[in-house]
Amino acid sequence: MAEPDLTHVDEVVERLGRSEDALIPLLQAIQARYRYLPEQALRRLCEIADITPAAVESVSTFYTQFRLRPAGRHTVRVCHGTACHVKGAPLVTDALCKHLGIEGDEDTDSEGVFTVERVACLGCCSLAPVMQIDDVTFGHLTTESITRSLDDFLELQKRRAKQRRRRPGTPREAEIRITLDSCCVARGTRDVKQAIDKALADLGIDAKVKPVSCVNMCHETPLVEIVTPDDGSHLYAQVRPDDVRAILGRHLHPGGVLAKARRTASTALEHLLTDDAWEPVTRYGLDMSTQRASSFWDPQVLLVTERAGRSDPLDLREYLETGGFEALRKCREDMSAEQVLGEIERSGLRGRGGAGFPTAEKWREVAEADSDVKYVVCNGDEGDPGAFMDRMILESYPYSVIEGIAAAAQTIGAGEAILYIRQEYPLAIPRVREAISHCEQEGLLGDLKMRVMEGAGAFVCGEETALLESIMGRRGNPRLRPPYPSRSGLWGRPTLVNNVETFALVPWILRNGADEFAKLGTEHSKGTKVFALAGKVNRNALIEVPMGITLRRVVHEVGGGIGEGKRFKAVQVGGPSGGCVPESLADTPVDYEALVHVGAMMGSGGLVVLDEDDCMVEIARYFLEFTQDQSCGKCTFCRVGTRLMLRMLERLCGGEGADGDLRELERLGHSIRDNSLCGLGKTAPNPVLSTLEHFRDEYEAHIRGRCPAKQCTALITYGINDNCIGCTRCAQDCPADAIVARPHEKHEIDTEECIRCGACRDVCPADAVEVE
Amino acid sequence: MPSIQIDNHQVEFKPGQTVLEVARGLGVNIPTLCHLPGKPARTSCMVCLVKVVGQEGLMPSCGTVCEDRMRVFTNTPEVLEARGNALELLLSDHLGDCDAPCTVACPAGLDIPQMLRYIGQGKLREAIEVIKTDIPLPAVLGRICSAPCEKACRRAAADEAVSIMQLKGYAAEADLTGGHRPYTPKPAADTGRSVAVVGAGPAGLSAAWHLRRAGHACTIFERRDQPGGMLRYALGEDRLPRRILHAEADCVRDMEVEFRFGVEVGKAVSLEELLGSFDAVFVGVGRLSEGSRPFGLDVRDGKVSVARDSLLTSRARVFAGGDVVRARRMTVRSVADGKAAAASIGLMLAGDNTDAPRRQWSCHMGRLGEQEMETFLNHANRVARIPGAAQPGELRDSLARSEARRCLRCDCRKKSSCKLRLHSAEYEASPRRFHGDRRTYTRIDGAGVVYEPTKCIKCGVCVRVAAEHKEPLGLTFVGRGFDVRVQVPFGEPLSKGLKTAARQCAAACPTGALAMRDEAS
């Protein structure tokens, strides 16, 4: 291998500093340059910075972002979050690797084009299964579509290279709103936007195309809203680039003679566009007043997402015009710190990161701490598989978060604020950075220094003490609490750590008053909670519901019920820290204590709905696989205990369970829960313990060699019944060549060869494939 | 001064002190592995858990800073179980042997690998000291032992077992015939207690030897006029030359054991009389004749009934061992019984009612994989076993040294100082409770230390010690989670990582993961 040019290392040290605190950004910068961390570069780093080889080695091998071997030109991140998992991510990964010829321990194809990584969660659960190639997200993958996605991506790269900058336009009357969040982009909004730009140019229509915040209805994207002064608002759902011309033609009028001529010319060969002629567009029309949509919207109360679908996330003017920074102004001018604390206290706001610690109490501890240096940290390291609320909030409402942080800093007397955002959110990071810089330019932040620190891929850094370690440039190892960060946090100073959603709620509370907030919710859980609703529900969406709403209403009304006529089985609440609430307990309200009472927890707000096809033992195994993979490895109970629990669950799913296993699983689970050092370990057994409590019969069935949901491949066999019409399609799709198919005769499955992937059943037109 | 309550004892503390520090100051025993006294706590091993009233779950005492009026409990059932769980979790991922399989198989528990190392180095004096810690008749056993150790020897899986029995005989005979006074250990200070031993066979001789070592006075009553029991009367000169038996019996006499030949207990003197003039009695009279019931002790299936661990008979203060309690004749077993009985007599005399454990707590790595065997062989003499032609007593020095070096040295270098072993024994932690992934044994040498990663508990003690000693490279954690490991940065060898702190790191390691290569056990 050629010696890499190391002058870049010197440059980044010059730019980012030589202290150990800067280690993670330094490594990120080095990796950005070389696409991995060449050993020579790391040795050079140790030479010229005040960082030891031990620190470099331990940090660079702790975070999954860092690569120590060369990578392909493009990185394919395949999501293995909960929603993706239940929707077939493992099969998609296998197909992807097979297509690229990647085998064994390798992760890069032989030509060095694509490197495939498995990631915990990309936070696009409504699009499951999902992958991200560089910054482009692809959703609803199938084993067939995956190759097409790779081709599309390479095509997009070429197009991007040619793309011109849009000319600045003249004042416009009409507005075309389109969402450009990660998940919407994945569903094709970028293509739709290009089509709109092109159509506007071709048709000579003068209208403003405005990227707006997430509209929450992930299942209906790409969404295009046309707002005209005289005609009101029209919302189109699931728009395809081909539809754009028709939609625009319906509402907007071309300007100028020349444009008219151009329009005529360019559409001469197309069919005439009129409301009557273009029938299909109505099919996509989404009338807000219809039954379906109102069941979606009515139960929701939008506080964090109050600007949903209306505002340009980065338009500071607009934010200011709609009450933005009013709360911060109040903090600075009208209210004393004590008054702000009192207001937050009266609102009953509790931490939205999961544990629900009273926010005012935390603020007060830091406010009262005796130190001339204090910090505010915004925890944006959302990493639960199945949760993407924080990403959406950061992408769509960066100013709300910034304002909340600034208000907190003002109240507690902090001079510096750090937003720790996970690097898997490539859109959120630049948006927040840009938003901060807009605020600074307008002088809105006063003396407060605010910066973004990119996480480097470690779920455990969502734990506040691990997060602080990470900010200080170390491995994300949690430490014992107490002392809590409010007393001893960053560099030993009092530090306020709150979650993104918590901060985002602060401006609303201060603007509208604590009483308005406290009106919503239950006795001890006030206000609203944002959830990522995903899984086997008809509407996968980002929702904001008042505390106290039952899970059943969320599933049936907001979520539109279970898809494909299946039976609602359980809701997984709180991701790997939470538990499964069975259908029989679905009337449990969204409330911190109530959820804990049924063995789950609020967590950071993932709601994954499970139906009769989901095996609860497999779900428990899946979560344990996740947490044990994300364990930092520091304390015995979590490092060794979660691995042992995983092995027990694997044996159960593999049909090797024995009597007594369940008791031992429970004992070990309790031991890990009670004795682990940090929240990750303490909550890791929850998915197992809650399913053991509510679905013990399924575990017992596994010990007897049966998987009731017919999911655990070691416990099921595929067969073909007499419905078979002899079409051979199953045999064509079988990846293992396990189907003996003579045309027009009943086919047979060789159970020895069969890998139980279910491809045959999906493709069979006659319902002839059976699972036993 | 602020104070806390530990197990209902009120105790004052200085600000910043941890619960562990205060508890230890109070003499409360709390186990630790990752703790480095006086250094910030790492809270990794979690075996120092205590209950702090008001805190959910348990707290690692090493990292819990005392606060005024804190109430702590260090020995509730919950605490003890949790510590045991932590140890069992660590053990599920701790691959290695404490004692080597040969030692475990030896009824007398002889530290065979240590003996072999000394023989391999030509240090025969040290070898005989190791041998005679457990076995007073090694030259005898060097000829006639059934050698269960060799059946267990790891080396047998690669080619043939190490010739342990003959090497032991070699070292012992060298000591007997070396022209100096044969080695006998120095007895402990006189305890003022006395024990009668009935029978001068292997069990009786061994019991007397070990009792004297512990400082108890000892008299052997033998109905015949010579020592040796069945060794003398059942084996021919060709199998066991009498000179060897005499020489080793003389060593027992050199330990100031009084022999009273021609005195048959039960006839010339009764058991009651012995119990009247001695503090305890050990019965080692050999196999019983049909239907006999020596001294009125309970007998079952033709053997005197004894408690399995203590060897106590149905009579108080009367112990028994050797063929009189065994169905199968096995000399080394009898010797082992003599040692075990001496130990439990010692405990009884000290007023301790617990049974002396027959077997030390030990964990085992089981069968070696092919690659693992290669790793061990790479550090051993790869030659084949000495040809069978070499007769007992005829091993020449160079051949003996070569043979001894065939030992794979699978015992742990830290077997007597490992804190994981110590605490596991104390908490009766089972190494087999959890079935974890079995890792592949590897070993890394350098800087005078041996690093066995599969014994590492990831406590980071060595990493911190190396950093404190300002090692330029030192050691570091690599990776995370279950696969986290400790190594020198950038994959450099140990010799570069530990230029100055190797000894300190090895000493601080709470397990056998990092040990001096030639650490004496």
Q: Give mean pLDDT, residues B220-245.
A: 93
B157/B148 Cα distance (integer angstroms): 15
Residue A407 CA to residue A429 CA, distance in Å, equals 21
* Interatomic CA distance for residues B137 and A698, integer angstroms: 62
Q: What average pLDDT does this structure show over B269-289?
A: 94
Q: Tens digit of pLDDT for each residue in B382-423?
A: 999 987 645 666 677 889 999 999 999 999 999 999 999 999
CB contact under 8 A, B489 and A640: no
A441-480 pLDDT tens trace: 999 999 999 999 999 989 999 999 999 999 999 999 999 9
pLDDT, position A217: 66
The mean per-residue pLDDT over the stretch A174-198 comes to 76
- State the ipTM, two decimals: 0.91
Which positions in chain A touch B59 (Cβ < 8 Å)?
Answer: 480
Determine the average pLDDT of the residues in A741-767: 85
Phi-psi region of A382 (alpha: psi -120 to 50; beta: other; left: phi over 0): beta
The 3-state DSSP class for residue B435 equals coil
pLDDT band at B351 (very low <50, low <70, confident <90, very high): confident
Q: What percent of chain A has pLDDT over 90?
A: 53
Chain B nearest C-alpha distance from A664 (Å)? 9
Highest-confidence segment of A234-238, A254-258, A342-346? A342-346
Residue of B nearest to A646 (CA): B436
Q: Which tens digit of pLDDT belongs to each residue from B60-117?
A: 999 999 999 999 999 999 999 999 999 999 999 999 999 999 999 999 999 999 999 9
Lowest model confidence (mean pLDDT) among A486-495, A504-513, A706-715, B492-501: A706-715
B86 contact A CB<8A:
yes
* CA distance to partner chain A, nearest, from residue B436 (Å): 6
Q: Is residue A182 scored above 80 in pLDDT?
A: no
Give contacts of B45 with chain A, Cβ < 8 Å.
635-636
CA distance A56 to A43: 9
- How does pLDDT run across A609-621, given as a tens digit for each residue? 999 999 999 999 9
* Mean pLDDT of all residues in A660-675: 95
pLDDT of residue A136: 76
Nearest CB partner across the interface for A628, out of B41, B89, B481: B481
Q: Which range, A107-121, A277-291, A499-513, has the best average confidence (pLDDT)? A: A499-513
Which of A132-136, A635-639, B384-388 reaches the highest mean pLDDT? A635-639
Query: What is the least distance, in Å, from the CA of B489 to any CA of chain A?
Result: 6
Check residue A276 and give its pLDDT: 29
Residue A66, pLDDT > 80, answer yes
Lowest mean pLDDT, pick from A124-128, A741-745, B257-261 = A124-128
Nearest to B436 among A52, A634, A644 (CB): A644
The answer for residues whose C-beta is within 8 angstroms of residue A184's C-beta and 6 or more apart is A178, A214, A218, A221, A222, A223
Q: Reply yes or no on whether the pLDDT at B497 is more than 90.
A: yes
pLDDT tens profile A589-600? 999 999 999 999
Q: ∠ CA B447-B449-B455 to the nearest 5 degrees?
A: 140
Q: Which of residues 321-340 of B touch A (CB under 8 A)?
A: none
- Choose, out of A50, A51, A601, A675, the residue to mutate when testing the contact with B (most B CBs < 10 Å): A675
User: How close does chain B come to A668, measured CA to CA in Å?
Assistant: 8
- Per-residue pLDDT tens over the stretch A478-508: 999 999 999 999 999 999 999 999 999 999 9
Furthest-apart CA atoms within chain B: distance in Å: 79
Q: Does the distance separating the beta carbons of B57 and A674 come in below 8 Å?
A: yes
Using the beta-carbon criterion (under 8 Å), do B478 and A57 form an inter-chain contact? yes
CB contact A523 to B (< 8 Å)? no
Stretch A329-354: mean pLDDT: 95
Mutant choice from A634, A647, A663 vs B, greatest count of B C-beta within 10 A: A634
Q: A480 and B59 in contact by Cβ < 8 A?
A: yes
B89 touches chain A (CB under 8 A): yes
State chain A's mean pLDDT as an integer: 86
- Express as a percent the part of chain B with pLDDT over 70: 97
Residue A214 has a pLDDT of 67
Contact residues on chain A for B474, CB-CB shorter than 8 A: 52-54
Q: For residue A418, is pLDDT > 60?
A: yes
* Cβ partners under 8 Å of residue A637, min gap 6: A671, A672, A675, A676, A677, A681, B46, B85, B86, B89
Q: Look at residue A268 and tell me whether its pLDDT is greater than 50.
A: no
* Structure-block tokens of residue A110: 């032989």
| Model pLDDT, residue A234 | 67
Q: How far is CA A454 from the centre of its chain?
A: 16
- B103 vs A95: which has the higher pLDDT: B103
CA distance B58 to chain A (A): 6
Q: Does the CB of B468 have a partner CB in chain A at under 8 Å? A: no
Res A497: pLDDT: 97
Residue A632: the pLDDT is 96
Touching B: A residues 16-55, CB under 8 Å: 39, 42-43, 52-55
What is d(CA A717, CA A754) in angstroms, rounded to the nearest whole number? 8
The pLDDT value recorded for residue A123 is: 67
B113/A contact by beta carbon, under 8 A: no
Give the three-class secondary structure for B93: coil
- Please judge whether A480 and B43 are an interchain contact, meaning their C-beta atoms are less than 8 angstroms apart: yes
pLDDT of residue A437: 97
Mean pLDDT of A106-128: 81
Compute the average pLDDT of residues B314-320.
Answer: 95
pLDDT of residue A148: 82
Q: In this predicted model, what pLDDT tens digit does every residue of B438-469 receive, in sequence order?
A: 999 999 999 999 999 999 999 999 999 999 99
Runs of H (alpha helix) within B380-508: 397-404, 419-426, 461-468, 494-497, 502-508
Give the residues across from B259 on adjacent strands. B220
Which one of B59, B64, B481 has the shortest CB-CB distance to A633? B481
Answer whether B16 touches A (CB < 8 Å). no
Enter the pTM of the model. Answer: 0.88
Q: Measured between beta carbons, which residues in chain B are less than 8 angstroms from residue A624?
A: none
Q: Exposure of A620 by Cβ count < 10 A (0-12 exposed, 13-18 middle, 19+ buried)?
A: buried
Residue B44 with chain A: CB contacts under 8 Å: 634-636
The predicted-structure confidence for A144-175, as pLDDT tens digits, reads as follows 788 888 888 888 787 776 654 333 333 346 78
Q: Name which of A39, A56, A643 is nearest B436 (Cβ-Cβ).
A: A643
Q: Are A675 and B477 in contact (CB < 8 Å)?
A: no
Q: Give the mean pLDDT of A708-730.
A: 89
Q: A with B: how many residue pairs have Cβ under 8 Å apart?
A: 131
In this predicted structure, the answer to whether residue B48 has a pLDDT above a threshold of 50 is yes
Q: Do B82 and A671 touch (CB under 8 A)?
A: yes
At A117, list the tokens. 């990584």
Pairing between β-strand A224-228 and β-strand B449-451 as defined by DSSP bridges: unpaired
What type of residue sits at position A443? G
Contact B79, B50 (CB under 8 A): yes
Predicted pLDDT of residue A266: 37
Per-residue pLDDT tens digits for A619-635:
999 999 999 999 999 99
- For B380, residues 6+ apart whose C-beta sits below 8 A from its C-beta are B155, B405, B406, B407, B408, B409
Band (pLDDT 50/70/90 cuts) for residue B521 is very low
pLDDT digits (tens, 9 = 90+) for A551-564: 999 999 999 999 88
Confidence at A542, pLDDT banded by 50, 70, 90: confident
- Predicted pLDDT of residue A87: 79
Q: Is the pLDDT of residue B325 over 60?
A: yes
Give the chain A residue nearest B93 (alpha carbons).
A640
Task: Quote the pLDDT of residue A171.
Answer: 35
Q: Which of residues 259-278 of A touch B (CB under 8 A)?
A: none
pLDDT category of residue A252 using cuts at 50, 70 and 90: confident
One-letter amino acid for residue A133 of the chain: I
What is the structure's pLDDT at A83? 76
Is the pLDDT at B356 greater than 70? The verdict is no
Q: Decide: B4 and B66 in contact? Cβ < 8 Å.
A: yes
